[in-house]
Structure 1
Amino acid sequence: MDKTGLRRLLRARRRTFCADHGEAAARALVPFALERFAPQGAGAVVAGYWPIPGEVDPRPLMRALEDRGYRLALPVIRDPGSSLGFRAWTFGDILEAGPCGALEPPATAQAVVPDHVLVPLLGFDRTGGRLGQGGGYYDRTLEALAGAGGQEVRTLGLAFSCQQVEGLPMEPHDRRLEAVATECGLFDCGETFLKAGAE
């Protein structure tokens, strides 16, 4: 199946699962996702995202990370076709609608470079292949962050277990994820299934 067909299939699958189990699943994946983070954040920046309908809600995980000493950030869309920027954010801070309608921190918020990026997705496979919405924002962003030098940015996809597929068609510009957390466990992509729900 091509990417267009996969997106149609996975949007419907994700929407149905989220309506029935989304809230519980967002809480259930937190302990699995935390396996990818040191017990104390010591000020490292984690870029989350503000969920659109159907996406895994990252806020339970972001609260847990903030409690561990991590600083939070949210993405901002600068220009169509460009990579995402990131601005510091914490629970209770004001958000405003960005160019595409997504909520993001205002321009007065501090610009930051994340150490970790929580990545939303439509589908994933065991090798870290990711299918996004089709805009290419995260592929461009992860490429830009990788080319910026300094410490490598860590990536963690957040998904429902129903979003896993056997294999995704990957193109040269597609960026693979290091790991994916679901309500059933944690995939260390390229290695093995680490937590509950294996095989």
Structure 2
Amino acid sequence: MSDDFESFRCRSGFSSPPCYAAEVAPEYFDPLATDPEQARDVARWRKAERTRLRAARLELSVAERNDIGVALAGHLRQILQDRFDGARGMVFSAYWPIKGEPDLRPLMAELHDAGATVALPLVETKAAPLTFRRWTPDTRMVRGDWNIPVPPPDAPIVTPDIALAPLVGWTADGYRLGYGGGYFDRTLAALDPKPFVIGIGFEAAELPTIYPQPHDIPLDLILTEAGVRSQR
């Protein structure tokens, strides 16, 4: 890294951008950043951290990842019950697990059965906010971008009241290191009213900082298998 970036590290105390998928836009760069060279240094640093954290996640055994998913689902179920009456009558956006992410699909089915409208995000237009389409346990999924299963085009479009954001890394001040595509940033910036956003990640993926840029939006709550780790 450049000397300027090392200086920036010493005086900064922030974190990362909400994004959605790693392979989407590796050149993703925020033109609103006040120092383009600094922003590019941050982007390079984040790319290296994503690689490291994803490798560490994939080194976990299937049993370890399953245990983490069960613990996370338990914490999330309690939060939804305590704060949102179990999300009954609300639109709850989840995610389809990829690349070793915690698997919350059993909880998605449970929430559907309890009266929540469950949705999944998908890319319908490149470099634009995500679209949220309704999902049920009977939905016949199709292959979307990067081969991620998504609801079909005839599934209703909905607007989430609560949205989960899968984390590659996270910080105690509520910022998310995502996959680097910028989609989640654009989505949160575009939604009005903004949903209550819960970051879902591994306890071992905590970072002291990710040096947020002007486009970064902190999450409302970050949850790991250890419980609530950050809330605003």
Same fold (TM over 0.5): yes
Q: CA deviation digits over 1:107-156, x for unaligned, max 9?
A: 110010010111112100111110111101111111111xx34xx41001
Q: Tell me how many residue pairs correspond in the alignment.
A: 186
Identical columns (%):
35
Match of 1:14 among 57, 62, 65: 57
- 1:142 to 1:53, Cα distance in 2 relative to 1, 3 A: same
1:153 aligned to 2:199? no
1:77 is matched with which residue?
123
Matched residue type, 2:52: L
2:163 is matched with which residue?
117
Matched residue type, 1:5: A
Q: Select the structure that is richer in helix.
A: 2
Question: Unmatched 5+ residue regions in structure 2?
Answer: 1-41
1:182 is matched with which residue?
224
Counterpart mapping for 1:39-54 below 5 A: 39-54=85-100
The 1-side partners of 2:85 and 2:67 are apart by 23
Q: Give runs of ≥4 in structure 1 deviating > 3 Å.
A: none
Higher relative contact order (CA 8 A, sep 6+): 2
- Matched residue SS, 1:75: strand
Match of 1:128 among 155, 174, 179: 174
- Matched residue SS, 1:11: helix
1:3 aligned to 2:12? no
Deviation of residue 100 (structure 1)? 2.8
8 Å CA contact retained: 1:27, 1:61 = no
The 2-side partners of 1:53 and 1:104 are apart by 16
Matched residue type, 1:156: I
Largest Rg, 1 or 2:
2
Matched residue type, 1:3: R
The 2-side partners of 1:64 and 1:176 are apart by 28
Match of 2:209 among 167, 173, 184: 167
Deviation of residue 28 (structure 1)? 0.9
- 1:127 to 1:61, Cα distance in 2 relative to 1, 3 A: farther
The 1-side partners of 2:175 and 2:61 are apart by 21
Q: CA deviation digits over 1:30-49, x for unaligned, max 9?
A: 22112432234331010111
- Matched residue SS, 1:181: strand
2:186 is matched with which residue?
140
Match of 2:154 among 97, 108, 117: 108
Match of 2:76 among 2, 27, 33: 33
Q: TM-score normalized by structure 1?
A: 0.86
Q: TM-score normalized by structure 2?
A: 0.74
The 1-side partners of 2:89 and 2:70 are apart by 23
Over the aligned positions, Cα root-mean-square deviation in angstroms equals 1.7
Deviation of residue 165 (structure 1)? 1.3
- Matched residue SS, 1:166: coil
